[in-house]
Amino acid sequence: MNTSRLEELTQKYVLGNLSKAERDELAIELSGDESKSARDHFRLALKTDAYLQDAAAEMEGGHFAVTSSKILSFERSLWAIGGIAAAIAVGLITWTQAPAPAATGVATIHRTEGQAYSTASEMLVAGDFLQKDDQLTVTEGLVELVFEDTGVHAVASAPLKMTLNSSERVFLHEGDLKLSVPPQGIGFIVETEEREITDLGTSFVVTANKEHSRVLVLDGLVSIGQKDNPGQQFMVEGEAATFGERGDKALLKKKVSKMPELPQPKASLSELSGLTSNLYAFTSSEFPSPKEQQDLIGQRFLPLARSGFRDKASLRGLRSEPVPPFTCIAGAYNDFGEKAGLDPDTVTRSGWIAWNQGKLQPPEPGRYRFVGYADNHLLVSINGKLAFEGGRYDSAFRESEIVERDNFPAWPCLNSVAGFAAGPWFEVGTDPIKFDLLFGEKRGNLTYALLLIEREGETYEETYWGQPKWPIFLTAVPNTPQREALKKLQEFLDEKLLGGFSLKEEAIWQIVP
């Protein structure tokens, strides 16, 4: 393949425009790249795009959080400008990066639960540094660490033995290792006895023991290489591979099933009296000309949210249709806007937002906080005060930073490497509360979300990675189809992410008529 064709396919991959035939063509080229020049070029392109996003965000004066493993360009038109490589060479990357801190080690321990040791046989605690060629041993529980320079975030569980070769490479002798790799960490390598797994912008899990090794791709793309063999095989989101001790068996890949879709409530509006929901979208006459990546529907709802959900003036001109209220937010909502009667072109161009509102009776007094994630919009208000924002990085709500938000990237959620978000604690008593919820899609037909609730002081069962199985936020007892779908979603998360949630009817926030 000539250089211009490789450049064309690489740019299409970065922009998310590759056809299946082109993806196969690129995979074949990278797999047969004995000199590794094509693979190096590919990794550099991904890193370059990430740096350009950061630069564009700085020029806009905003805070642009890059979390998608596909690495969608903040300013895609930059790719059409000639001389990207030359721009990098003359110092663009240097300009966008802060001065490197003094070297302290290969990685920093962020959290330990149990017993973890370094080469010096010293028990590790949060804040400790691991040096080059240190061996990390976890005999009980788990350890969470962040690699210097690359920013790679890892969670490792016992029993574990792992050698840290550098901030860009580890050797996993035994154990489970889950990694979330930011753009600057692209090219991070996990080596086992059988294979080398190279990250190409993703989140994935590697398991190693005496009998075999296993790779599970949570999001994005990884390449799998054999020792002393230049050939590469590629794995994408949802694929799992197992290979034998000597590495002489063919790579076996198993596609993880698609995320379950939660059926919408069939109850009439009268049966859920006290909780209403309206679906908002642009009409053809009111639809403005969008700028690329602009969240038009979210921007229209920002004034409403800032007013404590009192001032609806910003919604004038939008189409509004009553829909059955969401009794919980969980799983996939494929083609939701079209199923609700919206024009497909409107859904594709500007999405939709559903506004749930009503009064709820808390299950018991106390301090609570919401936990979850959505692609794209999820905003909750209690008694007129914003209590949670869990949208994707390109949601207008997230970009405006209208409510305090904590992120937990080590705890993967649905289709995102960004992990869970948590809102501020709020207190409720015995009186009913006013409840407002905005849930929706920036544009397109695929929407994912999960809204959970945590009560301060309560103990929850934990997932494999030590993540609490917070109960799903329910406002009504699930009917049979919903209950079955929720159980399927729990099984899906347990299989794909080794994490999940709990279903507790005693924790229902009852609708007040």
Judged by average pLDDT, the poorest of 82-91, 139-148, 388-397, 457-466 is 82-91
Model confidence band, residue 79 (pLDDT cutoffs 50, 70, 90): very low
pLDDT tens readout for residues 307-328: 999 999 999 989 999 988 888 9
The residue out of 62, 96, 130 marking a domain boundary is: 96
Which has more confidence, 201 or 505? 505
Please provide residue 287's backbone torsions phi and psi, each rounded to the nearest 5 degrees: -70, 120
Residues 286 and 195 in one domain: no
Residue 86 falls inside a structural domain: yes
Identify the pLDDT of residue 103: 47
Instruction: For residue 166, count CB atoms less than 10 angstroms from its CB and return exposed for 0-12, middle for 13-18, buried for 19 or more.
Output: middle
Q: What CATH number is associated with residue 472?
A: 2.60.120
Same domain assignment for residues 29 and 65? yes
Q: What is the pLDDT of residues 445-478, one digit of tens each?
A: 888 899 999 999 999 998 766 778 999 999 988 8
Check whether residue 414 and residue 502 sit in a common domain: yes
Is 458 in the same domain as 367? yes
Angle between helices 3-15 and 37-60 (to 10 degrees): 40
In a domain, 265, yes or no: no
Least confident of 70-79, 168-177, 188-197, 346-355: 70-79
255, 286, 303 — which closes off a domain?
255
453 domain-assigned: yes
Residues 196 and 249 both lie in one domain = yes
Q: Computed from CA positions of residues 305, 311, 313, 319, in that sequence, does the dihedral angle turn out positive or negative? A: positive
- Asked whether residue 260 is assigned to any structural domain, the reply reads no
**Residues 39 and 152 reside in one and the same domain:** no
Residues 127 and 78 in one domain: no
162: in domain: yes
Could you tell me if 166 and 62 lie in one domain?
Answer: no
Number of domains the chain is built from: 3
Q: Are residues 126 and 89 in the same domain?
A: no
What is residue 70's predicted lDDT score, i.e. its pLDDT? 28
pLDDT tens per residue across span 124-146: 988 899 999 999 999 988 888 99
- In terms of domains, do 310 and 417 share one? yes
Residue where a domain terminates, one of 70, 96, 122: 96
Range with the lowest mean pLDDT among 98-102, 378-382, 500-504? 98-102
pLDDT for 22 equals: 74
Sign of the four-CA dihedral 443, 449, 455, 456: negative
Any domain includes 262: no
Query: What DSSP line would sit under 250-284, residue for residue?
Result: --EEEEPPPPPBPPPP-S-TTTTTTEEEEEEE--T
Q: Let me know: does 394 contact 70? Beta carbons within 8 Å.
A: no
- Give 23 or 469, the one with higher predicted confidence: 469
Instruction: Using the predicted structure, report yes or no on whether residue 82 has a pLDDT greater than 50.
Output: no
Q: Look at residue 175 and tell me if it is in a domain.
A: yes
Tell me which residue range forms the domain holding 62: 3-96
Decide if 495 is inside a domain. Answer: yes
Same-domain pairing of 231 and 322: no
